[in-house]
Structure 1
C-alpha cells in the first residue's frame, strides 16, 4: 500500500464518492480516502494517472513525493482570486445596471457565476446524468432554475456565497489538519552517526540498532536509545506531553523526537526509527483521524436519505400551492429552488470531523494518545473508571515508609548487607541508608536463605535480614511483637534486621502511592465519575492505598480472571474504562468499553489499549476526559445549529418569505459557526 496526500479535498461526501470510483479501478479495491487526514491509501499496482483524473473531476489533486510543495496555498489563492473577481463583477453590475445594456449585465452576471461556481456546475451536471443527488447536484439545479426564470442577480449572489461557503469549509478543515501536521513534524530528519570515531550526518531511516549517535544541545534525539556518554536535561514533551525537562545521564533511556536541552549526549540506538516510540505515536495519531465515530456514521447515513427527502420537499413546494391553493407558478418555483439550497447538508457533514481531529490533536499535545475518534467520543461518556493498583495508582516500586529502630546499628548493618544487591526492596532500603548518611562496612560473607531473607557476616558478627521466618531463632519481646502486628495492619511488607540475640529494627516497605493519584481521584469525583480499584494485593494493602487516594470502592485478592468478572459487572451499570499497565491487565483492558494504558512509550502499552497515557502517570487524565466531553458537546451543538438554521429557513417558505440569498446564508452561517466552534477545541486552557 502507498500513501498520498490530497489537496483540494473539502467535502466529506465527495471524498466518499471518489473513493467508490477509485475502488472500481484495477488494483483499486483496497483504496481508502481519509477526509480528516486528506490522504489516499492505495495498492502500488493501481494506475495513478486514472486516480488523478478521478480526483481532478471533483477539483482535488494527488500530490506525489516529487510534487510535495505548497499546493494547498496555490489552490486557496486561486479560489480566493476567482471569488474576488466574481464579487467585484457582481457589485459593479449592481451599481451600474441601470446604465448598462441588458445583454452586458447578463454577460457580467454569467461570468461571475461561472468563475465562482464552475467546479460545482461541472460536478453537478455529471451527477445529474448519473442520477446521483448530492450537494453539487442540488446547487446546480437551483442555479439553472434561477437563471431560467431570469433571476440573474440572485443566481449570481448564490453562486458567490456558495463558492465562499466551500472556501470556508476547506479553510476550517485545513486548519484542523495543519494543527495535526504541526504535531507530526516533531520527527527528526537526520542524525550524526559516529562510526570508527568519524562523525557523519545521515538520514534517520538508515540508523540501525547499536549505532552510536551524537546529539548536541538543541538537537532532536533521532530514535529510542540509551545514553552512553554525557549528562543533560531532555525535553520529552513530544512523547509524554510533560513540559518540565528530565535529567539524563549514562544508562538512562531516551526517546526519539525528544530534544537535548544542553550539553552533548552520545546515545546508543536500541530501535530503528520505524520501531521507535515516536514512530508508533505518529502512526497511531494518523490512524486515529481515519476512524469514524458512531455520530459520524449516523450523520453520513442521515445525509444519504436527507438529500432525496429535500428534493421531494422542493418539488412539493413548487407544485402544491399553484395546483391546490391558487399560487403562481413563478413564485413557488422560486421558493422550491430556495428549499433545494437550504437542503445542502454541508454544515451537517462538517459537524463532527473538525471537532474530532481537533480533540485528537489537543490530547496528543498533552501526551495522551487516543487511537481513534470512536474512543475519543467514548471517553467523554465514561461513568466509571477501574484502576489497577500497582504501577497505576502507585509507582510500582518499593519504598520504605516506616523505620522502627531498637539499636543504632540498624542502618549501618542494613547498608553493609544490602549495598551490593539489585533487589528492588534492597534498593529502597539503601536509599534510606544514604539519605541518613549512615556509614557501613563491607559484609564478609552473604548467604541467601530461600523464602526467608539473607544471612550475612559483618565485622565477624552474624546478622539476619528478612521476614519473620529469618529470625525464628529469637524470642520476640512484647514491644517487637506489637510493632510487627501494627506495621502488618497498615499493609506494610516487613524487613527485620537482627543479630543472634536481638532485633535491631524493622523496615516497613510499601509500594509508594503516586503523588498525583489523590488529586486525580478528587477531580474525577467532581466530574461525576465513579472510581474503583482492582488489585491482586492483600486486603490490608488495598485498604491502605484506597484510603490514601480516595477511590469510591476497592476490591483486593483478585486474580486476572476475577478482574475481568468485576469489569463485566461494572459494565452492566454504566460505561466503564479500565486503566492498567497494558501487560498484566490485558484481559481486563480488553473487556472494558475503553482500555487505557500507562505508557511512556512502552510497546506493550501502545499496542494493548485504546488510549495511552504517555507520561506514565494519571496527571493529565481529567484533562483528557474534559477535552472529550467538550468534543461531544461541540458535535451535539453543531448538529443542532446545522439543522436548526435550516429548519428556520424552511419555515420561511410557509408565508413565502424564503429567498435564494437567505437560503444560502442560512447554510453558510451554519458552516461558519460549525467550523469556528469546532476549532475552539484546539485552544489551550487550564482545566480545573
Structure 2
C-alpha cells in the first residue's frame, strides 16, 4: 500500500514557474462526481490556491499555488485527507497518453480490505450482535444498538465536521450524522443503526462501481502490444518497446500479431481485424499505401509498416484520452436527498430551537412544555425517512433490474435513463449479431447450390477468417458432406485456393475473380446488387477453366429482437438512432430492416461529436459493445454496454445488458421511470407526513409518542413502497405486443 497522509506530500510533483508552483496529486476515494465539488470548494477557500481541477476518471487533482502565499503543499494534502479522501501517489503534472499506456502494475484491493468495506463488515457484525442481545437480554437492547451507531457514525461525523469547516456544511454526511445521533438521543437506537449501516453500504457500492469504471482505461491500454519488431536499413530485425517507436521507423507485423503503431503499409498485403477501432466485424483487406491502426490484428499476411505516429498520438491513445475527458466533463449528478439537506436540515433545526426558546423567554411560557414540544419537533423532523426515501427506491430498482439481466452501476444512471429523449445504438454486435452469416448462395449456369456451398466450405476449412467460419457454419447446419481439399494456399486479402477432386478452385473477392475469370454482365450485376444491400460477396472460380461457378453473400444480420426493441422505444416516446463505423450501403440496408435513422462511416471521435451535439438539446443514452464505442459511452448521459461486448465497453458504460437483448433497453427505460415515480412518492410520504405533525405538534395537539409514530411510520411507508419495485416485471407486455403488431403491419 502506498503511503498517504501528511507524508504523502513527497508524492506530489511540484513544477515551479518562478512565482507559481503547479501541483499534481493522485487522490483516492472519489466515489461519485459530487466528490469533485467537495474538494474544489474546500481548496478554493485556501489562500494562494487557484486553477483547481479534479479529474474523477483519472483521480488527478491539479492546482496552482502562489509561491508568495503561506500555504504549503503539505497543507493541501492535509485538507484533502481531512475530507475523507487520500492523497496516494505521484503522477506527472500533465499526464500524457504515453503514461496512460505504460501504467505501473495496478494494486488490486478487494472491497473487504478497504476502509469502507471494513466499516460495513464491522457494522453488520455489531447489528447482528445487537439483535442477538435484544432477544436474549432485552434490557440491554438500547446499549447494544447504541454501540453500533456510535461505531458507524463517528467517521461520518468527522467528515461532516471537516466539510462544514471547508465550506460544505450541509452535506449528506451531515444529514446522516444528524439523523443517526438524533434518533439515538430520543431512544430510537435500532433505527439509527439501520440508517448508518445502509448509508455505509451505499458508499461502499459507489466505491466499487467507480473502480470498475476506471478499469476500462487500463483495458484499452492493454490492446497495444508492449513490444514491436523493428526493421533496420540492412534488413535486420530486433525487438524493441512499442513506446519507443519513432515516426518513419519500419516494423514487421506477422500473421496473428497486433499492430504496434499507426502507420502505412510499405510492403505486403493482408486482412486486418480493425474492430477495436472502427467496430466493423468483417476484416478489411489492406495493401501497400493503405493505413493501419495500432491495436488492430493482422490475420494472414506479412506486413512491413512505416510508423506514422508515436505511441503518445496513435489512435488508441486518442481513444483513451477521449474516454478520460468524457468522464471528467460529465455533469456531476447531485444526490437527490442532498439537495433537500441544504435547506431542510438547517431550517428544521432552527425552527426547533426557536420553539424551545422563544415562548419561555418572550412570554414566560412553561419551559418543560416547550422543551417537550421542541424535542417532539426534532423527532418529527429527524430525516431518517428522508434519508431512506431515495436510496431505498434505488436499491430496490437496481435489484429488480439485476434479476432481469439489467446490470446498472449506480443510482445516477438508473434515475437518468427514464429521462432520455434519444438512444443511440452502435450497429455491429449491438443491433446485429456481431459476426457475418451467409445470406445468399447463388450457383451460376444451373449448378447446384449445395454443391457450391460444400466446395466453398472445403476450400475455407483451414482458415480462421470470420467469413470462412460463417461459410463452414452454414454448410454444417445444412448437413452437407464437405469434400476433401488439398494444396491449400492464400493470396493475402484477396483469395483462398485449394484443389478438390483434381480441380484448382478459389474462393475470391469480386475484384480478384474478375481478373482470374471473365464475369458475364448478369453475374456482375448480381454481385453489385448484393453489395448494394451491404453484403460481402465471395466468388467461387475454377482456375483451370477460368470460369465463375457461383457466389456466396454474407452480412452481419440484425438480432432477432432488434426491430421489436426499436419499435418499443418509439412507442415509449424515445427516438432511436444507429451510429456505425461501417460503410453507408451496409448501414442503409440494416437501418431499413429495423426502421431506424442512421449515421454511417463514423470514427470514435465522430460518434463522440454527435453524442455531444445531441446532449445540448436532450438527455442521450448510448448503447454499444466495442472499444471504439468507449468515448461515446462515457460521454453520453447514460452509457449501456451489451453483455457480450468487450471488457472496455462493459467497464466504461453505466449499465450493461447481460442477456444482450435489444428489447431490454425498453425494460430499462420502464424500470427507471418506475423508480423515479417511487422516489417522488417516497419524498412525498416523508415530507408530507412530517409536515402534518409539524403543525399539530406546534399547536400542542400531538405529543412525543405521536412524533415517534410519525417518524417510524414514515420510515416504514418509504421502505414498503420501495420494496414494491422488486415486483417489477419489465415494460408493459401490451407495449411490446403493439410494437410487434406495428412491425407486422409494415410488412
Q: Same fold (TM over 0.5)?
A: yes
Other structure's SS at 2:485 match: coil
Query: Residue 504 in 1 paired to residue 549 in 2?
Result: yes
Query: Residue 678 in 1 paired to residue 716 in 2?
Result: no
Query: What's 1:640 paired with?
Result: 684
Q: Take 2:182 and 2:394, find their aligned partners in 1: how far apart are those partners?
A: 28
Q: Take 1:613 and 1:451, find their aligned partners in 2: how far apart are those partners?
A: 35
Q: 1:309 aligns with which of 342, 347, 371?
A: 347
Query: Residue 75 in 1 paired to residue 130 in 2?
Result: yes
CA apart distance, 1:567: 1.1
CA apart distance, 1:421: 2.1
Change over 3 Å in CA distance of 1:472–1:644 after alignment to 2: same
Q: Take 1:669 and 1:482, find their aligned partners in 2: how far apart are those partners?
A: 76
CA apart distance, 1:397: 0.9
CA apart distance, 1:643: 1.0
Q: Which moved more, 1:502-511 or 1:436-445?
A: 436-445
Whether the aligned pair in 1 keeps the contact of 2:505 and 2:541 (CA below 8 Å) is yes
Query: What's 2:470 paired with?
Result: 428
Whether the aligned pair in 1 keeps the contact of 2:441 and 2:553 (CA below 8 Å) is yes
Query: What's 2:571 paired with?
Result: 526
Q: Take 1:434 and 1:140, find their aligned partners in 2: how far apart are those partners?
A: 71
Whether the aligned pair in 2 keeps the contact of 1:567 and 1:592 (CA below 8 Å) is yes
Whether the aligned pair in 1 keeps the contact of 2:580 and 2:600 (CA below 8 Å) is yes
What's the TM-score once normalised by structure 2's chain length? 0.56
Change over 3 Å in CA distance of 1:535–1:327 after alignment to 2: same
Q: Which structure would you say has the larger Rg?
A: 1
Whether the aligned pair in 2 keeps the contact of 1:400 and 1:510 (CA below 8 Å) is yes
Change over 3 Å in CA distance of 1:314–1:443 after alignment to 2: closer
CA apart distance, 1:518: 2.0
Q: Take 1:120 and 1:439, find their aligned partners in 2: how far apart are those partners?
A: 73
Change over 3 Å in CA distance of 1:136–1:606 after alignment to 2: closer
Q: Take 1:388 and 1:639, find their aligned partners in 2: how far apart are those partners?
A: 37
CA apart distance, 1:349: 1.2
Query: What's 2:536 paired with?
Result: 493
Q: Give the unaligned 5+ runs of structure 1.
A: 3-15, 17-22, 49-54, 64-68, 87-111, 144-158, 181-291
What's the CA shift string for 1:356-385, capped at 9, x where partnerless?
333333434444433333333333333222
Other structure's SS at 2:689 match: helix
Q: 1:550 aligns with which of 586, 590, 595?
A: 595
CA apart distance, 1:477: 3.4
Q: 2:441 aligns with which of 393, 403, 409?
A: 403
Change over 3 Å in CA distance of 1:168–1:434 after alignment to 2: closer
What's the TM-score once normalised by structure 1's chain length? 0.60
Q: Take 2:180 and 2:463, find their aligned partners in 1: how far apart are those partners?
A: 74
CA apart distance, 1:430: 2.0
Whether the aligned pair in 2 keeps the contact of 1:176 and 1:358 (CA below 8 Å) is no
Superposition pairs of residues 322-341 of structure 1, within 5 angstroms: 332-341=370-379
Query: Residue 569 in 1 paired to residue 607 in 2?
Result: no
Change over 3 Å in CA distance of 1:656–1:392 after alignment to 2: same
Superposition pairs of residues 29-428 of structure 1, within 5 angstroms: 41-42=114-115, 62=122, 71-79=126-134, 134-135=178-179, 159=187, 162=188, 165-166=191-192, 294=333, 296=335, 298-300=336-338, 302-303=340-341, 305-318=343-356, 332-406=370-444, 407-408=447-448, 409-428=451-470
Change over 3 Å in CA distance of 1:642–1:294 after alignment to 2: farther
Q: Which moved more, 1:604-613 or 1:560-569?
A: 604-613
Whether the aligned pair in 1 keeps the contact of 2:180 and 2:193 (CA below 8 Å) is no
Other structure's SS at 2:382 match: coil
Query: What's 2:706 paired with?
Result: 662
Q: Take 1:140 and 1:434, find their aligned partners in 2: how far apart are those partners?
A: 71
Other structure's SS at 2:627 match: coil
Query: Residue 607 in 1 paired to residue 616 in 2?
Result: no
Q: Take 1:617 and 1:61, find their aligned partners in 2: how far apart are those partners?
A: 36
Change over 3 Å in CA distance of 1:306–1:72 after alignment to 2: same
What's the CA shift string for 1:510-552, capped at 9, x where partnerless?
012222222222332233222111111122211221122333x
Whether the aligned pair in 2 keeps the contact of 1:121 and 1:140 (CA below 8 Å) is no
Whether the aligned pair in 1 keeps the contact of 2:181 and 2:192 (CA below 8 Å) is no
Q: Take 1:433 and 1:315, find their aligned partners in 2: how far apart are those partners?
A: 83
CA apart distance, 1:121: 12
Q: Take 1:354 and 1:514, find their aligned partners in 2: how far apart are those partners?
A: 35
Query: What's 2:519 paired with?
Result: 476
Q: Give the unaligned 5+ runs of structure 2.
A: 3-37, 39-76, 87-109, 165-173, 207-330, 733-747
Change over 3 Å in CA distance of 1:175–1:366 after alignment to 2: farther
Q: Which moved more, 1:368-377 or 1:381-390?
A: 368-377
What's the CA shift string for 1:55-96, capped at 9, x where partnerless?
9xxxx9937xxxxx96533312334667x669xxxxxxxxxx
Change over 3 Å in CA distance of 1:123–1:295 after alignment to 2: closer
Whether the aligned pair in 1 keeps the contact of 2:670 and 2:731 (CA below 8 Å) is yes
Whether the aligned pair in 1 keeps the contact of 2:116 and 2:203 (CA below 8 Å) is no
Query: Residue 590 in 1 paired to residue 645 in 2?
Result: no
CA apart distance, 1:580: 1.7
Change over 3 Å in CA distance of 1:675–1:80 after alignment to 2: farther
Change over 3 Å in CA distance of 1:434–1:377 after alignment to 2: same
Whether the aligned pair in 1 keeps the contact of 2:563 and 2:595 (CA below 8 Å) is yes
Change over 3 Å in CA distance of 1:332–1:390 after alignment to 2: same
Q: Take 2:666 and 2:401, find their aligned partners in 1: how far apart are those partners?
A: 11
Whether the aligned pair in 1 keeps the contact of 2:644 and 2:660 (CA below 8 Å) is yes
Q: Take 1:426 and 1:119, find their aligned partners in 2: how far apart are those partners?
A: 64
* Alignment coverage as a number of residue pairs: 488
Whether the aligned pair in 2 keeps the contact of 1:444 and 1:459 (CA below 8 Å) is no
Q: Take 2:183 and 2:658, find their aligned partners in 1: how far apart are those partners?
A: 47
